[in-house]
C-alpha cells in the first residue's frame, strides 16, 4: 500500500530558537540607533578633551590669555627720560614728549614696568606714571619733592584700583620741526627794528665788536677754563653775546683743517649740545655765508634752535656763529643768542655782525 508522505515537523524547544527571531523588528532598529548615538557622544567627549583648555584655562591652539596694557606718562615737564617694558625685559630709556601713551599686548600674568624720570637739565616739577590693564587702572605713582621720577611696577594680574581716574592727556609741548641744514650759501636777513643802542666796544681774542646797551648788562670777562669763553654780555630772557678763540676740540671736530664753514658748523653743534636739552634741540639753518672782516676771511652761520625746556618760556632761540680767521693759530668766534620771546632784540644781530673788526 502506497503511503502518502507528510511534511517534516521540526522537533526543538523554544530555547533553541535564535535570539533575533524572538525580538520584534522595531526594537532592533531602536537598539541600533542608541548604540550609534553612544559612539558619537563618546567620540565628541574625547575630542573635547584633546583640544580643550589646559590647566591654566588657555586653549592649546590660542596659547595663554592676553590682555591690553596701556602705559601713560604725564607731568609738567615738556619731555622726560622714559623706560617701559616687562620687568625682565626693559626697553632702554629714551626721550619722549609728554603726555605719553602706548598700548601693548601682554600675557595675563606678565610683569610690567614704567619709569618716568626727569631729564638731567629739567629737574623738579611733578611726574606721574599710570598703567592700565584692559582699560582699568591697576597702578599709579607720582614723583615726590625728593624724587625726580615716578615708577610703576607690578603684574597684569593685579586687581584694578578703584577711584583712580585715567589721567587727562591734554596736549603738551608742540612737536619740534624737522632738522634742516643749509649746504649752499644763504645770506643773513636784515632783521627789522630799532634794536639796542651801542654804548661801547669789546676787544677780545683779536676781535673788536659793539657793546650793547638798553636791556643788556655790561660785558664781563670770563674764565675760559670754566666757561669756554673769555667775554660775555647778558640780556633779558637768555640773550647772550660771547667771544673767544676756537678751542682745539672744536677744531678737531671740524676735521682739523681750519676750513671756516666747517668750524662754524662745529661751534653751532657744540652750543646745541651743551646749552640746550640733550638729544632734543633741533637745528633749522637760516643763513650760511662767507664774509670779509677787515680783509680777513670769515664765515657766518645763523640757525634757529628749537627746543622744550621746563621753566623756559621760549621754545626757539636765534643763534649766530661768526668765525674769523685772525691770522692766529686758531680762528676767533663770536656767538650770539636771541630768544624768540624777545624778538625786539633780533636787530642786534645785524648790529653785532657789522661791527666786528680784527685787532
Residue of 41 and 79 predicted with greater confidence:
79
| pTM (two decimals) | 0.66
Helix (H, G, I), strand (E, B) or coil at 190: coil
41: exposed, middle or buried (C-beta count within 10 Å: 0-12, 13-18, 19+)? exposed
- For residue 207 the three cell numbers come to 676781535
Distances (CA, A) of 46 to 31, 37, 56: 23, 14, 20
Task: State yes or no: pLDDT of 48 exceeds 60.
Answer: no
Mean pLDDT of 119-135: 87
253 — pLDDT class (breaks 50, 70, 90): confident
Specify the pLDDT at position 309.
83
79 — pLDDT class (breaks 50, 70, 90): confident
**Per-residue pLDDT reduced to its tens digit, 206-226:** 999 999 999 999 999 999 999
The rounded distance, in Å, linking the Cα atoms of 44 and 32 is 19
Task: State yes or no: pLDDT of 9 exceeds 70.
Answer: no
Distances (CA, A) of 135 to 75, 138, 166: 21, 9, 9
Helical residues (DSSP H) of 12-55, grouped into ranges: 19-22, 25-51
Mean pLDDT of 71-91: 80
Specify the pLDDT at position 91.
66
Specify the pLDDT at position 108.
93
Distances (CA, A) of 304 to 16, 177, 284, 317, 336: 114, 10, 5, 6, 12
- Alpha-carbon torsion (83, 84, 88, 92), positive or negative: negative
Specify the pLDDT at position 206.
98
Average pLDDT, the chain: 85
Task: State yes or no: pLDDT of 342 exceeds 90.
Answer: yes
CA 107 and chain centroid, separation = 25
Instruction: Let me know the angle formed at the C-alpha of 7 by 6 and 12, rounded to the nearest 5 degrees.
Output: 125
Specify the pLDDT at position 337.
98
The rounded distance, in Å, linking the Cα atoms of 337 and 240 is 5
With beta carbons less than 8 A apart as the criterion, state whether 288 and 298 touch: no
Mean pLDDT of 270-274: 94
Q: Give which of 99, 219, 246 is closest to 166, Cα–Cα.
A: 99
Q: In this structure, what DSSP letter does residue 174 have?
A: P
The helix (H) or strand (E) run that includes residue 102 is strand 100-107
**Per-residue pLDDT reduced to its tens digit, 310-333:** 778 899 999 999 999 999 999 999
Specify the pLDDT at position 256.
74
119 — pLDDT class (breaks 50, 70, 90): confident
The rounded distance, in Å, linking the Cα atoms of 239 and 94 is 30
Residues 6+ apart with CB under 8 A from 353: 188, 291, 300, 320, 322, 334
24 — pLDDT class (breaks 50, 70, 90): low
Specify the pLDDT at position 33.
58
Q: In this structure, what DSSP letter does residue 144 have?
A: -
168 — pLDDT class (breaks 50, 70, 90): confident
Mean pLDDT of 85-91: 62
Task: State yes or no: pLDDT of 155 exceeds 50.
Answer: yes
Task: State yes or no: pLDDT of 352 exceeds 80.
Answer: yes
The helix (H) or strand (E) run that includes residue 302 is strand 296-306
Task: State yes or no: pLDDT of 276 exceeds 80.
Answer: yes
Amino acid at each position: 500500500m502506497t503511503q502518502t508522505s507528510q511534511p517534516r515537523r521540526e522537533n526543538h524547544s523554544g530555547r533553541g530558537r535564535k535570539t533575533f527571531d524572538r525580538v520584534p523588528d522595531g526594537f532592533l532598529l531602536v537598539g541600533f540607533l542608541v548604540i550609534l548615538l553612544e559612539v558619537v557622544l563618546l567620540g565628541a567627549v574625547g575630542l573635547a578633551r584633546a583640544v580643550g583648555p589646559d590647566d591654566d584655562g588657555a586653549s592649546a591652539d590660542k596659547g595663554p590669555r592676553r590682555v591690553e596694557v596701556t602705559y601713560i606718562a604725564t607731568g609738567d615737564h615738556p619731555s622726560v627720560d622714559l623706560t617701559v617694558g616687562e620687568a625682565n625685559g626693559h626697553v632702554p630709556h629714551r626721550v619722549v614728549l609728554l603726555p605719553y601713551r602706548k598700548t601693548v599686548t601682554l600675557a595675563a600674568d606678565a610683569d610690567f614696568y614704567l619709569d618716568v624720570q626727569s631729564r638731567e637739565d629739567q629737574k623738579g616739577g611733578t611726574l606721574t606714571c599710570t598703567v592700565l590693564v584692559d582699560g582699568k587702572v591697576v597702578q599709579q605713582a607720582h614723583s615726590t619733592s625728593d624724587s625726580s621720577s615716578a615708577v610703576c611696577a607690578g603684574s597684569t594680574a593685579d586687581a584694578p584700583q578703584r577711584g583712580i581716574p585715567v589721567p587727562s592727556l591734554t596736549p603738551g609741548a608742540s612737536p619740534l620741526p624737522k632738522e634742516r641744514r643749509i649746504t649752499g650759501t644763504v645770506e643773513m636777513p636784515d632783521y627789522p627794528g630799532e634794536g639796542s643802542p651801542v654804548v661801547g666796544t669789546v676787544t677780545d681774542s683779536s676781535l673788536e665788536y659793539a657793546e650793547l646797551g638798553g636791556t643788556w648788562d655790561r660785558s664781563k670777562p670770563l674764565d675760559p677754563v670754566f666757561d669756554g669763553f673769555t667775554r660775555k654780555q647778558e640780556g633779558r630772557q637768555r640773550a647772550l653775546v660771547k667771544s673767544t678763540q676756537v678751542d682745539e676740540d672744536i677744531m678737531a671736530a671740524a676735521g682739523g683743517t681750519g676750513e671756516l664753514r666747517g668750524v662754524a658748523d662745529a661751534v653751532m653743534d657744540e652750543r646745541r649740545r651743551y646749552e640746550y636739552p640733550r638729544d632734543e634741540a633741533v637745528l633749522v639753518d637760516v643763513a650760511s655765508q662767507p664774509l670779509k672782516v677787515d680783509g680777513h676771511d670769515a664765515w657766518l652761520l645763523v640757525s634757529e634752535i628749537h627746543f622744550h625746556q621746563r621753566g623756559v618760556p621760549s621754545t626757539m632761540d636765534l643763534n649766530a656763529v661768526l668765525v674769523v680767521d685772525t691770522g692766529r693759530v686758531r680762528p676767533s668766534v663770536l656767538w650770539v643768542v636771541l630768544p624768540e620771546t624777545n624778538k625786539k632784540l633780533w636787530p642786534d644781530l645785524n648790529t653785532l655782525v657789522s661791527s666786528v673788526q680784527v685787532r
